[in-house]
Amino acid sequence: MSQPPAATDRPLRVGIEAIPLLVVRTGVGTMTRAVVDRLATDPGLDLSAILISLRGRGRLAAELPPGTGLRALPFPARLAHRLWLRGDHPAVGGFDVIHGPNFVVPPAARHSVRRGARRPAAELLTIHDFGPWHYPGLVNNTARGYPRLVARALDRGAHVHTVSAFVGAEAADILGVEPERIHVIPNGFEAGPAGDPARGRALAGGHPYVLAVGTIEPRKDLPTLVEAMGRLWAEGHDTRLVLAGPDGWGTPDLEQAVARTGAAHLVHRLGYVSDDERADLLAGAACLAYPSRYEGFGLPPLEAMAQGTPVVATSIGAVTEVCADAALLVPPGDPDALAGALARVLTDESVVARLVAAGRQRPPLFSWDRTAADLGQLYRQLAARR
């Protein structure tokens, strides 16, 4: 291995690909926002956002914390992805480390490595889960391209950051790279202001409700949740189902599942909600249902626990890592088991009390400050290895 360049007193130049800051805020956007805000205050880092897009420069500039630079390449992102499958253009220069927080890391511009010349930047990509590898039929067209783009980045020598130990273990099994190139730094969590249960119930239509949050996509398996709720409705329960999140490529399947219950009037779809509305809905819910078939982390259960709301979730992926014994966990894709767990929460006050008490202990274990600090340390380690 070549020796690293001589150390200097200048801050480490870090570029973070920042498209997640411009899209509807989901788990990836939350992580990118939290990390950028905190790393911008690190005096040892010269932080810039990287934007590869024909649009959005002005919007992104308004989203960045003070002191953060902006490197914009006016190039269509989809075309860049296609080109990166075959080569390293368009490339980004002028950094010590380039971090892609959403599976894809822009290639570092290459320089001839001679005496006194700069080496290419170290590259780091974040893998939030291996859904595109396991379930290509359950993700959108962009995500289906991630496995090939990750493989190309690994061929260039990129390192991998995963957001949970579960995903880190998957990375070792699936990617075929050296374990020392895989770095587990868990997501953090920051509890917002306490929601208002009364406002939440008003948003939900004034009735007791089970809440599900997130984009309507296949791996969230909302049709199974609807089927489970249909079993409860058939037994006389009148608790509504409230879905808070934008439409996605799972919407047609959800609509068919609702129609099959014959109880569409008990399903309330709110679409995208603000952060304040989300907090109110979580605070007012009888429980949060999280029926996903696959997750790499899972922020919504922590959000619900922080609001004192019990959680029913599936025993998959990192959800068990995040929730531990603070949720009722059921097998994925099993409407009977899910209906039974929901019924326990809706009818047994002792179960609710236990889950709420255990849930209060989980969010403090996850810190965005720690996540950002650990990423900053990782950047320094990767830059020194170049």
- Residue 118: per-residue pLDDT: 56
Asked if 371 and 361 sit in the same domain, the reply is: no
Render pLDDT for 152-210 as a digit per residue (tens, 0 to 9): 999 999 999 999 999 999 999 999 989 999 999 999 999 888 999 999 999 999 889 99
Bridge partner list, 99: 16, 124
Render pLDDT for 67-83 as a digit per residue (tens, 0 to 9): 999 999 999 989 999 99
Q: Is the pLDDT of residue 51 over 90?
A: yes
Helix 299-306 crosses helix 349-360 at what angle (to 10 degrees)? 110
CA 290 to CA 167: how far, in whole Å?
Answer: 19
**Cα dist from 343 to 7, 210, 238, 291, 337, whole Å:** 61, 11, 12, 15, 10
Residue labelled with tokens 């982390």:
297
Q: Residues of the chain with pLDDT > 70: what percent?
A: 95
Asked if 22 and 149 sit in the same domain, the reply is: yes
Domain that holds residue 51: 12-188+367-385
Q: Is the pLDDT of residue 307 over 60?
A: yes
- Residue 6: per-residue pLDDT: 44
Q: Tell me if 291 is assigned to some domain.
A: yes
CA 16 to CA 52: how far, in whole Å?
Answer: 11
Number of structural domains in the chain:
2
- Residue 2: per-residue pLDDT: 38
DSSP 146: H
Q: Is the pLDDT of residue 115 over 70?
A: no
Asked if 216 and 112 sit in the same domain, the reply is: no
Q: Is the pLDDT of residue 319 over 60?
A: yes
Asked if 227 and 175 sit in the same domain, the reply is: no
**Half-sphere CA count of 370, side-chain side, radius 13 A:** 12
| CA dihedral angle for residue 6, residue 7, residue 9, residue 10, rounded to 10 degrees | 80
Asked if 375 and 347 sit in the same domain, the reply is: no
Beta sheet of 240-244, edge-to-edge order: 267-271, 240-244, 209-213, 287-290, 311-314, 328-330
Q: Tell me if 134 is assigned to some domain.
A: yes
| Phi, psi (degrees; rounded to nearest 5) at 126 | -100, 130
CATH of the domain at 175: 3.40.50.2000
Per-residue tokens: 112: 């001839």
Asked if 360 and 373 sit in the same domain, the reply is: no
Asked if 267 and 148 sit in the same domain, the reply is: no
Render pLDDT for 24-49 as a digit per residue (tens, 0 to 9): 667 788 899 999 999 999 999 999 99
Q: Tell me if 118 is assigned to some domain.
A: yes
Question: Which residues make Cβ contacts (< 8 Å) with residue 173, sequence separation at least 6?
Answer: none
- Residue 9: per-residue pLDDT: 75
CA 355 to CA 371: how far, in whole Å?
Answer: 26
- Residue 8: per-residue pLDDT: 58
Asked if 289 and 377 sit in the same domain, the reply is: no
Asked if 259 and 169 sit in the same domain, the reply is: no
- Residue 207: per-residue pLDDT: 87
By mean pLDDT, which of 5-19, 269-283, 366-380 is the weakest?
A: 5-19
Q: Is the pLDDT of residue 14 over 80?
A: yes
Contact 185/377 with Cβ under 8 angstroms? no
pTM of the model as a whole: 0.86
Residue labelled with tokens 């950047």:
379
Asked if 179 and 76 sit in the same domain, the reply is: yes
Mean pLDDT (the chain) is: 92
